[in-house]
Amino acid sequence: MHTYNVRSCSERLAPYIIRTPLVEVEELNRRLGKRVFLKLESLQRTGAFKFRGAMNYMLSLGEEEAARGIITASSGNHGLGMSLAGQLRGVKCTVVMPVTAPQTKQRRAKAYGASLILHGADYDEAQVYAKSLAAQEGYIYVPSFNHPRIIEGQGTMLSEILEDRPSVDTVIAPVGGGGVLAGLLVARKEMGANHLRLVGVEAAGAASMQAALRDGCPSTIPNMKTIADGVAVRTVGDLNLEIIKELCPRLWQVDDEIILDAQRLLFQESRIISETAGAVSVAGLLEMGLPEDAREVVCIISGSNVDLPSLTNLAAANPPLSS
């Protein structure tokens, strides 16, 4: 049985992380008829929430483990988090990213001092290669989402949300491997915030959590296709699935077209930079709406690591349709 202590984790991480703001978005208020706030993890160090779990993991390493160095696989943001965490603690870090990883994420990992290896067509193939290198070289392998210290670190977002806005009744988060949603769930349980509705949103083309819940175990989806590379995971973590099965959040799916609409809306209406995966929570809100009893909702904007050409396309694109 794994144990989690989000309160202690928050204290441990306080010297390292940014306490990211909650920002109310008038355009979303107008469309939804609710008060909508964004938790801007896009402003977190490394440009993504992943730094929370990565730094928590790094701080948990013993001296002997730290001396071996770590290796991880990542579609980008977890790799950036581990790269900076390794730099801060003086631990050698190797990151394996798929060959499709955005250039901005590749450059930043190297700028933080990590050794970068490009391998595989997606996160899952990069993960297999990283595990094989760990066995060959004696590195400590660090999961991207399937570890108690990673889960615990991501859960610190919820304590900040509820301290800043105790009246929030709904929190919506993106789902890839399940680390964010699992972290929010264990934090809700620890804090006794049973009134809080938690919703996870998957890209329809990478709905591995829905598949795992259907099958009762982590199952690998054979065909995966989504523009949201940060949530493009074929197989969820077993720890994450265990938590989600026990605590039963709502799960939504959204198509890529809706994700792009949400990303454009955030940029064009509110000047908020979000990568595609970072806009998944807002996409879910726009597509699915909320129950009548929901009054105040927080969407987690999970990352902002967008290449300049993508930003140029967002600026030039036709605005999302008004509703």
Active centre residues (catalytic): 50, 302
Would you say how long the chain is, in residues? 323
Give the C-alpha separation, 294 to 314, whole Å: 31
**Contact partners, residue 266, CB within 8 Å, separation at least 6:** 38, 272, 273, 274, 279, 282, 301
Give the C-alpha separation, 180 to 150, whole Å: 9
Tokens of 297: 């909702």
Burial class (CB in 10 A: 0-12, 13-18, 19+), 317: middle
115 three-class SS: strand
**Contact partners, residue 164, CB within 8 Å, separation at least 6:** 21, 22
Q: Which amino acid would we find at residue 141?
A: Y
Give the C-alpha separation, 312 to 121, whole Å: 25
End-to-end CA distance of the chain: 47
